[in-house]
Structure 1
């Protein structure tokens, strides 16, 4: 009876962790790109087409599976009320994923419960759960594959889940490949069901892109590579890595090129991993999988100059897992180790993320969303176009047809980039003549032909300034807003001819 009761502790931890993290819904911190996926889902609802602007097909979202999930949540709850249920759903799935991970690595129910809660309140876990991206579903699917496919030996899981994982994000081929290699080297055999699942997953993803969109990879990948791709010297590669690894490898995004906290944590993670894998236990089989994947994903994405921090959330967590396991399994002074970890790392990380979420939520929800709401009221004709960057909050809340600077939601920009990358912005404006321009810069500055063109054809309609959104009746919130102001100043222009 006691054992049965103890075995429920991890389930209680899941429920408590989800409930605790739902407090972050109050911050209204939702990632910009989530609104791209949700608009694609609503476009599918309204036009029956996976696109962004009416009946034009385009893979504007990085994730196909999450588009369909978002579509069903819109269908069930309606466009006005689907966001909170979907965020709760993401949080539940992610936390169940941590439950599966705890079963793979730990035996003591109490240790599992502590593991679930502590990993669940780290910054990447909070962002995965609450920011509206697809990683809650992805983490659940990946941990389900390890737990049911490789721990329980369910062959149907090995066959089906790789396809779902890859249909969520095509770059998960890294995770699936690492799992395959570790499993083959550890067990000295090949799981052909899993091989078939991987091959089927690749074919399904590529075939869907090809037959539906007429492209092999998602448009988002093509667009980012086209605009951001450039040749680097070896020294530039080194400089870029030094400037980026602290922000994207660790859990803190701090200004500057050097982040000593990240280096200390990385070394400790590596030492804990080496300590744990000294014996050939089944637990270590999964530790090898998640740790190698964490390093591989980080190295590959940083080397490819991937600036978006959500790419790093899952590996950040998985690389930290050996630290939690090491501390929880200490037989001498375990409580001392655990107290030090909580006081000097986990609680500061939680405090940092809380401040970050409040400040960024203000900048996104109260500021950037306000621009979209203004346009929604000002412009009643939703067939009018706006040219801007990024394509999340403002297009979603304005309802206007959208051209984004990167070409994620409209391929016409890519055509202009190929013609003349240096002048693609002004060339897009001249050829497409969008009614609205939303720019970080003052387009009237300068005496060149471009500024003359803007002065001739566009009128400044409204200025949006971050400083105007740093006030609150709550003095603590106001201090946080001013401590970490979030957002960018914008100028909104309207065409006059």
Structure 2
């Protein structure tokens, strides 16, 4: 490294610290993903019953991620059930940002450029969500970038064996990432890394063995439940409608109301141009540019083809595809400051502002509103062995402490059998058969064809309305709440 670059050597690590501190401000929004509470409930179930499950001693892989369950378990053990959330979110933010540090080392040579990249990359909306929403993607991004940095840039054998095991134990769909890395490396280097193959084989064996010997299944229950519940035979017109509603998730980062989002097309266009410009130069770093770009496209196309519309599936591909634009801008020889200024003023800062508004509004709708339902039930029902039938199974079971039956079957396998048997009537059939003490529904159950059944067996306990949670002493917050109200109206019923 030249003497000029040497003086910037510490800048990337300083950028990691600064970026984490900036992102910690988003913790004030209380924007935490519903599914994170499912994983945390599983971790606490392990703590209380010594069983990986959701409802007492019943074993079930209710969380998509095994590794993150164990990490959450450790944080519960150290900090306690009441205090583990924010230390864990800070840990996730730190891991993700260290992952971006590894990525900067892979695709940029100048330490000053790496530092700028870490910060700009870290305040993109998907990066913020990966860091603070409580899901497993912070640890996953760290592991994936660590694999590339230690396993392929530094050619460490231990990394080629260890990281595939940890990555697959975090999420089973990471076979896509591991496969793209394998193929790109063979084509680029014209050789096979046998230790990496060993790591991949061990990863599959460890994951499948754990699933089989502990849960009696090869594939996580969450995947099975979603495949059973969600519609597969949609018409082409309906598929196109859902695609338009969700395509802002796929290549862009800004999901605006309405079907057409021109920003997504613009981002996609510049990503392609930047990628072609960078790979036209034959440089060693291009292996990693190819890997992140091919992975971003491959994962998105696979999940789009499977009609997977949950936005968190696309967070990592979104930021990896955008990384090439940052590399393109930072490596400009002339007018570099202008390029960076334009990117900041017209894209990065507006995106961060949008995410701030989104996080404040969503945090209100979930932490302030949905959590309040759980807290109401926690005080109202002292017998924590009682069941509630609802959807989704995150905030409310976690904060109420009640056992849960969710409509999708993520946390309860019995409802999957009802869905297979009679999908049109599985909700009522479950209520008839299981007799849960509480029902939480986004509609009036006393109306419709089964209204008389519910009136005979249940009474309305309380109505929860999002409009009652759009007020704040802070007028700016109140305007944001009303600008983007987040939440669903619910009726809570108790069995007579």
Corresponding residue of 1:490: 490
Which of 322, 325, 338 pairs up with 1:323? 325
Matched residue, 2:375? 373
Residue 231 in structure 1 maps to residue 270 in structure 2: no
Q: 2:366 aligns with which of 364, 367, 377?
A: 364
Match of 2:345 in 1: 343
1:247·1:259 contact (CA, 8 Å) conserved in 2? no
1:305 is displaced (CA, Å) by 1.0
The alpha carbon displacement at 1:116 in A equals 0.2
Residue 438 and residue 10 in structure 1: after superposition, are their counterparts in 2 closer, same or farther (change >3 A)? same
Aligned match of 2:277: 275
> 1:203-242 residue pairs with structure 2 within 5 A?
203-234=205-236, 236-242=238-244
**Residue 74 (structure 1) shift:** 0.3
TM-aligned CA deviation for residue 303 of structure 1: 1.3
Are 1:244 and 1:302, in contact at CA under 8 Å, matched by a contact in 2?
Answer: no
Q: Which moved more, 1:342-351 or 1:255-264?
A: 255-264
Q: Distance in 2 between matches of 1:246 and 1:461?
A: 39
| Aligned with 2:51 (options 49, 66, 75) | 49
Q: 2:28 and 2:120 mapped to 1: Cα distance?
A: 21
Deviation at residue 244 of structure 1 after TM alignment? 2.4
The equivalent of 2:17 in structure 1 is 15
Q: Distance in 1 between matches of 2:79 and 2:5?
A: 41
* Alpha carbons 1:387, 1:402 under 8 Å: kept: yes
Q: How far apart in 2 are the matches of 1:202 and 1:176?
A: 11
Q: CA deviation at 1:242?
A: 3.3
Comparing 11-20 and 276-285, the one that deviates more: 276-285
Contact 1:33 1:392 in 2 (8 A): yes
Q: What's the CA shift for 1:481? A: 0.3
Q: Structure 2 CA distance, aligned partners of 1:473 and 1:243? A: 34
Taking only aligned residues, the RMSD between alpha carbons, in angstroms, comes to 1.1
The Cα shift of 1:302 comes to: 1.3
Distance in 1 between residues matched to 2:41 and 2:240, nearest whole Å: 38
Quick one: distance in 1 between partners of 2:487 and 2:122? 27
1:238-271 deviations in whole A, cap 9, x for unaligned? Answer: 4443332223331112222211110010010000
From 409, 416, 419, give the equivalent of 2:418.
416
Q: CA deviation at 1:61?
A: 0.2
Which segments of 5 or more consecutive residues in structure 1 lack a partner in the other structure?
none
Question: 1:471 maps to which residue?
Answer: 471
- Give the whole-Å Cα distance in 1 for the aligned partners of 2:250 and 2:62: 24
**Separation in 1, partners of 2:416, 2:49:** 24
Matched, 1:312 2:345: no
2:456 maps to 456
Take 1:431 and 1:6, find their aligned partners in 2: how far apart are those partners? 67
What is the alpha-carbon distance in structure 2 between the residues aligned to residue 253 and residue 440 of structure 1? Answer: 24
- Report the 3-state secondary structure (helix = DSSP H, G, I; strand = E; otherwise coil) of the residue aligned with 2:424: coil
CA distance in 2: counterparts of 1:409 and 1:249, whole angstroms: 31
Q: Secondary structure at the match of 1:437?
A: strand
Q: CA deviation at 1:372?
A: 0.1
Matched residue SS, 1:492: strand
The secondary structure found in structure 2 opposite 1:438 is strand
The answer as to whether partners of 1:162 and 1:201 remain within 8 angstroms in 2 is: yes
Please give the per-residue CA displacement for 1:441-462, whole angstroms capped at 9, x wherever unaligned. Answer: 100113x3x1101000000000
Q: Contact 1:376–1:399 at 8 Å: present in 2 too?
A: yes
Q: Secondary structure at the match of 1:231?
A: coil
TM-score (ref. length: structure 2): 0.98
Partner of 1:407: 409
State the number of aligned residues.
494
Kindly state the Cα deviation for residue 57 of structure 1 after the two structures are TM-superposed. Answer: 0.1
Report the alpha carbon displacement of residue 237 of structure 1 after superposing the two structures with TM.
4.0
Contact 1:247 / 1:254 at 8 angstroms: preserved in 2?
A: no
| Distance (whole Å) between structure 2 residues aligned to residue 237 and residue 271 of structure 1 | 29
* C-alpha contact (below 8 Å) 2:464/2:489 kept by paired residues: yes
Q: Does residue 147 of structure 1 match 2:149? A: yes
Counterpart CA distance in 2 for 1:361 and 1:232 is 32
How far does residue 470 in structure 1 lie from its aligned partner after superposition? Answer: 0.2
2:428 corresponding residue in structure 1:
426
In 2, Cα distance between the equivalents of 1:2 and 1:268? 31
* SS of equivalent to 1:363: helix
Counterpart CA distance in 2 for 1:370 and 1:43 is 22
Q: Does the alignment pair 1:182 with 2:184? A: yes
**1:18-51 CA-partner distances (Å, limit 9, x unpaired):** 0000000000000000000000000000000000
**Residue 174 of structure 1: how far off its partner (Å):** 0.2
CA distance in 1, matches of 2:308, 2:360: 25
CA contact (8 A) 1:241 1:303 kept: no
Q: Given the superposition, is the C-alpha separation of residues 237 and 472 from structure 1 closer, same or farther in structure 2, using an over 3 Å criterion?
A: closer
Distance in 2, Cα, partners of 1:6 & 1:272:
26
Cα separation, 2, equivalents of 1:390 and 1:458 = 21
* Distance in 2 separating the partners of 1:240 and 1:462: 33
